[in-house]
């Protein structure tokens, strides 16, 4: 959304594309999962009275729209991409097949995973964790509006303290909000580190790729 109240801010998409290019040029394999809340929020629709399953599928389609926008921005700056979705729509993307996704990465293409897991009741966080495990990713980088995990919501509590590193069990014990609990448990059970960082601060993604301590490491 960028500074808009709805939809896609092309300038923000362009910024993300350039940040992704910077780390891809370092030889890293990059796979991306995008949410769809700037277009449609399934949970909000459910609270308004819509059937949860119907609302979730609509949310999955919103993630595909965002994925297509990012794909366009990446290709405009010379990067090779593939969009794979959990719901088949052959005219615009490939169906998700694990071996195909891995092969695209091996060939240096940036892979974008759309439509969540293809199942209702699962969040985009869960889709990101699941896909990361399937492609044997080294870590999940969760780009948010805040620069890490805090003792409380830093947008509300001025005294909230940031964690540079924290363990999975400590997150559970303190009831900290890192990501959807299903997604979090998937990462814990598969020893997949999570790094929560501010994606809207230019250069953060590159600093992470270069090994700088950005955001919060959960491991």
pLDDT at residue 103, rounded to an integer: 98
Tens of pLDDT along 131-159? 999 999 999 999 998 899 999 888 888 89
Which pLDDT does position 156 carry in this prediction? Answer: 87
User: Are 82 and 40 part of one and the same domain?
Assistant: yes
Task: Between 45 and 192, name the one with better pLDDT.
Answer: 192
One domain for residues 8 and 106 = yes
Tokens of 77: 């700056």
Classify strands 110-114 and 31-33 as parallel, antiparallel or unpaired. Answer: parallel
Range(s) of the domain holding residue 205: 138-219
Q: Is the pLDDT of residue 46 over 90?
A: no
DSSP for 145-192, written as a single string: SSSSEESS-TTT-TT--EESEE-HHHHHHHT--SS-HHHHHHHHHTT-
pLDDT of residue 22: 96
Instruction: Specify the pLDDT at position 50.
Output: 92
Q: Do residues 52 and 149 share a domain?
A: no
pLDDT score of 90 more than 90: yes
Domain end (from 88, 112, 137): 137
Number of domains in the chain: 2
**177, 104: one domain:** no
% of the chain exceeding 90 in pLDDT: 86
Residue 59: HSE in the Cβ half-sphere, 13 Å Cα cutoff: 26
| pLDDT given for residue 155 in this prediction | 81
pLDDT band, residue 115 (cuts 50/70/90): very high
**124 lies in the same domain as 185:** no
- 132/184 same-domain check: no
The model carries a pTM of 0.94
36 lies in the same domain as 113: yes
* 54 and 66 share one domain: yes
Residue 5 has pLDDT above 90, yes or no: no
Output the six-digit token pair for 6: 């709805």
CATH number at residue 197: 3.40.1160.10
Same domain, 127 and 145: no
CA distance 12 to 17: 9
pLDDT bucket at 2, cuts 50 / 70 / 90: confident
121 and 160 together in one domain: no
Radius of gyration of the chain (CA): 17
End-of-domain residue from the set 137, 156, 179: 137
Is 23 in the same domain as 103? Answer: yes
Residues 74, 13: Cα–Cα separation, whole Å: 9
Same domain, yes or no: 130 and 168: no
127 versus 200: the higher-pLDDT residue is 127
Among 78, 104, 137, identify where a domain stops: 137
Return mean pLDDT, the chain. 94
């Amino acid at each position: 959304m960028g500074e808009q109240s709805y939809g896609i801010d092309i300038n923000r998409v362009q910024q993300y594309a350039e940040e992704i290019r910077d780390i891809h040029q370092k030889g890293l394999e990059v796979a991306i999962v995008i949410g769809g809340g700037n277009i449609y929020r399934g949970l909000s629709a459910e609270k308004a009275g819509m059937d949860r399953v119907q609302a979730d599928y609509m949310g999955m389609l919103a993630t595909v729209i965002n994925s297509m926008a990012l794909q366009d921005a990446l290709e405009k700056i010379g990067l090779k991409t593939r969009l794979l979705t959990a719901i088949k729509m052959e005219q615009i993307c490939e169906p998700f097949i694990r071996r195909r996704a891995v092969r695209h990465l091996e060939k240096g293409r940036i892979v974008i995973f759309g439509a969540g897991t293809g199942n209702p009741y699962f969040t985009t966080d869960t889709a990101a964790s699941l896909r990361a495990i399937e492609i044997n990713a080294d870590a999940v980088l969760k780009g948010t509006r805040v620069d890490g995990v805090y003792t409380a919501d830093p947008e509300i509590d001025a005294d909230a303290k940031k964690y540079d590193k924290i363990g999975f069990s400590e997150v559970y014990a303190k009831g900290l909000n890192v990501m959807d609990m299903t997604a979090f448990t998937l990462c814990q059970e598969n020893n997949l580190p999570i790094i929560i960082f501010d994606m809207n601060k230019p250069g953060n993604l590159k600093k992470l790729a270069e090994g700088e301590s950005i955001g919060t490491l959960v491991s």
